[in-house]
Structure 1
Amino acid sequence: MIGANPVLNMSIFGVFVLITLYVVYRVSSTGTASDYFAAGGRFTGAQNGIALSGDYLSAASFLGIAGAIAVYGYDGFLYSIGFLVGWLVNLLLVAELLRNTGRFTMGDVLSFRMQQRPVRAAAAVSTLVISFVYMIAQMAGAGSLVALLLDVHSSSGQALVIAAVGLVMVVYVLVGGMKGTTWVQIIKAGMLILCAAMLTLFLLGKFGYSMTSLMQRAAERNPLGDQIFAPGAKYGESALTKLDFVSLSLALVLGTAGLPHVLMRFYTVPNALQARRSVVWATVTMAGFYLCTLVIGFGAGAVNGTEAILAAPGGENSAAPLLAFRIGGTVLLGIVAAVAFATILAVVAGLTLTASASFAHDVYANVVKRGAADPDSEVRVARWTALVIGAASIVGGILVNGQNIAFLVGLAFAFAASANLSTLLFSLFWKRFNTRGTLWGIYGGLSSCLVLVVFSPVVSGAPDSILPNADFAWFPLSNPGVVSIPISFLCGVVGTFLGGPPSNPRRTAEMEVRSLTGIGST
C-alpha cells in the first residue's frame, strides 16, 4: 500500500502482543480445571460483559462489516443489526439458565438429563466444527490485513503471516487459560471501541459533523449511487437473493445463542445474576460499536471510493485500514492495524480455548475416562488439543484467504444455529425431550448445514468461490440457515418421538429447579 509504513505497523502490533503476553503470564492461574476452563467463576458481570464483546466483536465486525457498508450501503449494515439483535435471544432464553445448569461447556447442559457419553460426544463434535469455521474467518482476516499493510501480495507470504498469528494465539491459550484469555479480550475490546469512536469523530469532523454530507459523498463515489440507502443493493436482485438475505438474517439472529465460545463465557461469573449483567454490558457496548460501523463504512466509501476499496489487496476487508490511512496517515493506520490484529488474536484465542475445553472435558474426561479423569490430565489434553486446533485453523485460513470475513462468520452462525440452538432450547424447556432427539437435532442440523455449504456457491461455481475453477454446486443459496435451522428443530422433534419414553424424570425435575433457581449450580 503506497505510503504505508510496514515497520511502524508491525511495531505497534508487536508492542500489543508483548503487553498482552505479559498480562497473560501475570494473571494465569491454571492449577485446576475450573481455573483453566472458567477462570474459577471469579469475573464480575461488567468484566465478563466487556470480555464477551471482545470475544464477539471479531474481524468480521471491524473489517468485514465496514467493507460491506462501504460497497453495499444498507445491505451491509444488516450484518450489524443481525449480530446485535441475536443478543436478545441470549438474554431472554439462554444466559441465566445455561449458567445455572452447566459447569464448563455446552455439553454439560445437553447431557444433564440424557445419556452422558453419546450426547457429550455430539456436543464436542458440534463445538469443534463451529469453532473451526469461525476461526478460519478470522485467519482470512489476518491474511487480508497483512496483504494491505505489508504489501505482501504473494500467497506464500500471506500464508506465513497467518501461521504467525495462529502461533501467537496458541501461546495465549496455553499460558493463560480462560483467565488470561479474558483479560486479553477486555484489553482488546477497549482498544477496538476506542479506535472505532476515534475514526467516527475524525470522519464526522471531516464532513462538518454532518452525517447527511458524508452519506451524499459516499453515494457520489459508489457506482450504485443512491441505491446504497435502500434495501436491495446486494440482496435485492432477484427472489433468490432476497431468500438468501432471509437465510442470512435467520443465521445471524439465532446463531448467537448457539456459539460455543459465547456460551462458555457464562461460566466465568459466580452466579446467574452476573450472567444476566454480562449480557446487558455486552449488548450496550456492542450497540455503540455497531453504530460507529455505520459511520466508518459510509465514510470509507466517501473518502476512498468503492473502486479503490475493491482494487486494494484484501478487497472489501481493506475499507477500514484504507480509511485510517487517508484521514490519519501511517500512525493512525498503524493503530488500526494493531487493533485489527488484536481483534483477530483475541477472538481466535477464545475459540481455541472453547474447542479444546470441549474436547478435553466432554470427550476425554466424560466419554473416554467415564468421568474419572483427574484435573491435571484434563488440562493437559486441552493444551494438546489447542495445538491441533491452531494448526487446523491456520490451514483453513490459508484456503479461504480473500473472502469477505463478515460473510464467512455468517456461515459460522448458520452452523451454530443449526447444530446447537434447537437442542439447547429443547433441553431447557421441553420435558419430553430425550437422548435420541438430542443426537438427531445436533447431527441432523450440523450435517445438513455442512452438506448445503459444500454444494453451494460458497465452495464452487462462482468467481468468488473457494474453488472458483470447479462447479459442483446444486444448492443456490450462499447461507443455508433458512433450510438447515428448521431441519435441526424437525430432527429434534422426530427423534424425540421415535426415541421412546422421556429422559430421566428425576434428572428433568432437578434440571428445571436448577436452571430457574440456581440451587445446586455451585
Structure 2
Amino acid sequence: MTTAWLAEGASTSNPLINTGVFALFVAITLYVVYRAGNRRSSTSGYYTADSAFTGRQNGVALSGDFLSAASFLGIAGAIAINGYDGFLYSIGFLVAWLVDLLLLAELLRNTGRFTMGDVLSFRMKQRPVRAASATSTLVISFFYMLAQMAGAGGLVALLLDVHSKWGQALVITVVGLVMISYVLLGGMKGTTWVQIIKATILLTAASLITVFLMGKYGFNFSSLLRAAADRSHMGKDLLSPGGSYGKNGTTKLDFVSLSLALVLGVASLPHVLMRFYTVPNAREARRSVVWATACMFVFYLCTLVIGFGAAAIVGPDEIKAAPGGENSAAPLLALHVGGTVLLGIISAVAFATILAVVAGLTLTASASFAHDVYANVLKRGKAEPEDEVRVARLTAVVIGVFAIVGGILANGQNIAFLVALALAVAASANLSTLLYSLFWKRFNTTGTLWSIYGGLIACVVLVLFSPVVSGASDSIFPSVDFHWFPLKNPGLVSIPVSFLCGAIGTFVGRSKGDPAKHAEMEVRSLTGVGFGS
C-alpha cells in the first residue's frame, strides 16, 4: 500500500473518532485520579500512597510506569525498520528487571521512605548528598520526559495528519498540561491507578493485535518473518544481527554502550525506585518486580510480532514517510488492519501510555525536589507536611513546562533511542552510588558526591557533543556540527567513569565512613528492622 494511499486515508478519515476515543480515556482517568487522589496534605499519602498497594497492584503499575511510548511506538518501529537489532531494546529492558530484582528492590524498600535521597543520605552528610540526589533525579526525569513528549508529537502528527511543527508543538503542550493535572489532582495514589488502567489496556491491545497478525499468517511465525523480509529493503538481513549496529567498529561499540545503558539503567531510574515505597514491606517489593517482569515479558513478545507485522503489511517506505517516522509503525499497522476506529483506539492507548509515564516521572522529580531539597536542605528537616506537598505541586508545574519545551525540541527522534539516553544518564549518576552505599563499608560523603556528579556530568557532556545533538542528518540540530564523541549512547564510557569517580572520591575524602551507620544500614537493608524510624 502506498504512501499516497495513506495520506488520502488519513485525510478522509474522521478525526473526531480518533480524538474522541482519546478524550474519553482522558476524561475517565481524570475522574479516577480525582476520586482516588489523596487530597490531605500528607507527605506519605502524596509521595507513596501510604504504602497501601499490594505487590500485584504495584507490579502492574510498575509495568505501566515503564512500558512507555518507547516500548509501544519506538521498539515496534525499530523492529519494523531494523529487524533483529531493533528487538535488542526489548531484550535489554527485560534483562534489566532481573538486575533490579537481584540487587536493589528489596534493599531499597528497607532503607528508604520516599526518595532515593533517603537511602544515599542515611550514612552520609544530609544536605550535600540530598542536593546531589535531587539534581540527578531532575536531570534523568527530564531526559526520560523528552522521549515521551516527542512520542506525543509524532503520534498526533499521524493521528490528525498534522505536519506542521507548530501544530505538533501545540499537541505536545496539551499532553503536558493533562499530565500536570494528573499529578496535581491525584498524587501517587491517583497516578498509580492511572498506570494500572493504562497497563491493562496496553497489554490487552497489544495481545489482540498479536493474535490477529498470527492468525493472518496461519499462526506460523516463520511465515510472518518471511513476509517482513520480502517487504524490507534489507531482505533476509532483517532477521540477522548487524542491520543497524554492525556496519563498522563505531556502531558495534555503540551497541555495547546501548546494551550497558539498557541493562543497568532501569535499576537506577528514580521513578522506578520510588515505586518500591508504595508497598508495605520488602516481600511485596519483590512481588512487584516479579509481576512487572511477567507483564513486560508478555508485552515484549507482542512487540516482536507487531514490529515484524508492520514491516510485512505496512512496509518501511510508508513508515519512514509518515509524519512520526519510525514511531508511526504501530499506529499505521492499526490503520491498515482495522481502519480509522482501530487507529483511534491504538492511538488512545499510546497516548495513555505517554500520559501515565510522564505523570509518574513528574511526580518523582517533584517529590525529590520537595523532600530532599526543600524539606531537608533548605528547611533542615523542619518543614511542615502541607508546605512540602505544596512545594511538590508547584515543582510539578515547573517540571511540566520544561518537559513541554524539551519535547518540542526533540520531536522527530526515535523515542526508544531517547529513552536509552535517559537510561545511560540514570546508570551513570545513580547505579554506582547506590551499590557503593549499600555494600561498601568505607564509602563516604566525598565518594557519593563524586560518583553522582562525576557520572552525571560525564554522561551529559558526552551526549551534548555526540551525533545525537549535532553532526548527523537525524540530530536534534542537523544544520550544525560540533560533535567530537563518536558514540550515540555514552554508557560505555560514562558508567565506568561514575564507578571510578566514586572510588577515587572515597579515598580522597577525609572521612572513612561511619562503621556503626553502615552496620545499621546493613541490618535494615537485609531485614527491614527500623524502617521508617
Give the TM-score, by structure 2 length.
0.97
Q: Distance in 2 between matches of 1:112 and 1:41?
A: 20
Taking the aligned partners of 1:502 and 1:226, their CA distance within structure 2 comes to 58
Measure the CA separation in 1 of the matches of 2:38 and 2:77: 39
Q: 2:282 aligns with which of 269, 272, 277?
A: 272
Q: Partners of 2:254 and 2:39 in 1: how far apart?
A: 44
* 1:435-446 pair list within 5 angstroms: 435-446=445-456
- Give the secondary-structure state (helix, strand or coil) at the position aligned to 1:2: helix
Structure 1: distance between partners of 2:421 and 2:510: 34
Give SS of 2:517's match.
Answer: helix
Residue 331 (structure 1) aligned with residue 341 (structure 2): yes
Aligned partner of residue 180 in structure 2, secondary structure:
helix
Paired with 2:37 and 2:470, the residues of 1 have a C-alpha distance of 44
Of 2, 7, 19, 2:8 maps to 2
1:401 aligns with 2:401: no
* Paired residues for 1:236-255 under 5 Å: 236-255=246-265
Task: After superposition, give the CA deviation of every residue in 1:190-227 in whole Å (9 maximum; x if it has no partner).
Answer: 00000100110111111121111111010011000000
The structural deviation recorded for 1:421 is 0.2
**CA deviation vs aligned residue, 1:423-462 (integer Å, no higher than 9, x gap):** 0000001111000000000000000000000000000000
From 21, 42, 52, the equivalent of 2:30 is 21
- CA distance in 2: counterparts of 1:448 and 1:85, whole angstroms: 25
1:413-432 equivalences in 2 (<5 Å): 413-432=423-442
Give me the CA root mean square deviation.
0.6
1:302 aligns with 2:312: yes
Name which of 495, 514, 520 aligns with 1:504: 514
The within-5 A match list for 1:52-451 is 52-451=62-461
SS in 2 for 1:459: coil
Counterpart of 2:472? Answer: 462
SS at match of 2:467: coil
For residues 118 and 373 of structure 2, the distance between their equivalents in structure 1, rounded to whole angstroms, comes to: 11
Deviation at 1:5, TM superposition (A): 2.8
Shift of 1:331: 1.2
What amino acid does structure 2 have at the position aligned with 1:275? A
User: Residues of 1 paired with 2:215 and 2:337: CA distance?
Assistant: 11
Compute the displacement of 1:119 (Å).
0.2
What amino acid maps onto 1:197 in structure 2? S
- Give the secondary-structure state (helix, strand or coil) at the position aligned to 1:501: coil
Structure 2 portions without partners, runs of 5+: 1-6
Residue type of the partner of 1:324?
A: A
Identity %: 73
2:4 counterpart residue number: none
Separation in 1, partners of 2:381, 2:412: 43
Q: 2: distance between equivalents of 1:379 and 1:128?
A: 17
Matches of 2:496 and 2:407 in 1, distance apart? 29
Shift of the alpha carbon at 1:52? 0.1
Residue 408 and residue 30 in structure 1: after superposition, are their counterparts in 2 closer, same or farther (change >3 A)? same
CA distance in 1, matches of 2:146, 2:315: 28
What's the offset of the Cα at 1:329? 0.9
> In structure 1, what is the Cα distance between the partners aligned to 2:462 and 2:36?
43
Q: Residues of 1 paired with 2:307 and 2:264: CA distance?
A: 25
Could you tell me how far 1:73 is from its partner in structure 2?
A: 0.4
Question: Could you tell me which amino acid in structure 1 is paired with residue 217 of structure 2?
Answer: F
What SS does the corresponding residue of 2:241 show, helix, strand or coil?
coil
Aligned residue for 2:8, secondary structure, equals coil
Q: Name the CA distance, whole Å, in 2 between partners of 1:280 and 1:370.
A: 37
User: 1:379: Cα distance to partner?
Assistant: 0.1
Deviation track 1:204-253 (CA, whole Å, cap 9, x = no partner) reads 11112111111101001100000011110000000110000000000000
* CA distance, structure 2, for counterparts of residue 407 and residue 416 of structure 1: 14
**Cα distance in structure 2, aligned partners of 1:346 and 1:274:** 22
Q: How does 1:472-487 map to 2 (within 5 A)?
A: 472-487=482-497
Q: Which amino acid aligns with 2:16?
A: V
Separation in 2, partners of 1:323, 1:491? 47
Deviation of 1:508 (Å): 1.3
Amino acid at match of 2:409: L
Query: Which amino acid counterpart does residue 103 of structure 1 have in structure 2?
Result: R
* 1:507 CA drift (Å): 1.5
Alpha-carbon shift at residue 494 of structure 1 (Å): 0.3
CA distance in 2, matches of 1:7, 1:110: 50
Specify the SS of the correspondent of 1:373. Answer: coil
Mapped partners of 1:154, 1:284: distance in 2: 40
Deviations 1:33-80 (A, max 9, x none): 000000000000000000000000000000000000000000000000
Stretch deviating more after TM superposition (24-33 or 62-71): 24-33
Matches of 1:199 and 1:66, distance apart in 2: 12
Cα deviation per residue 1:369-391 (whole Å; 9 max; x = unaligned)?
Answer: 00000100000000000000000
The yes-or-no answer on 1:491 pairing with 2:498 is: no
CA distance in 1, matches of 2:16, 2:500: 54
**Residues in 2 aligned to 1:28 and 1:336: alpha-carbon distance in whole angstroms:** 27
CA distance in 1, matches of 2:517, 2:384: 25
The secondary structure found in structure 2 opposite 1:516 is helix
Distance 1:206 1:22 in 2: 38
Structure 1 runs, 4 residues or longer, greater than 4 Å off = none
Structure 1 alignment gaps of length 5 or more: none
Cα distance in 1 between the residues matched to 2:24 and 2:159: 17
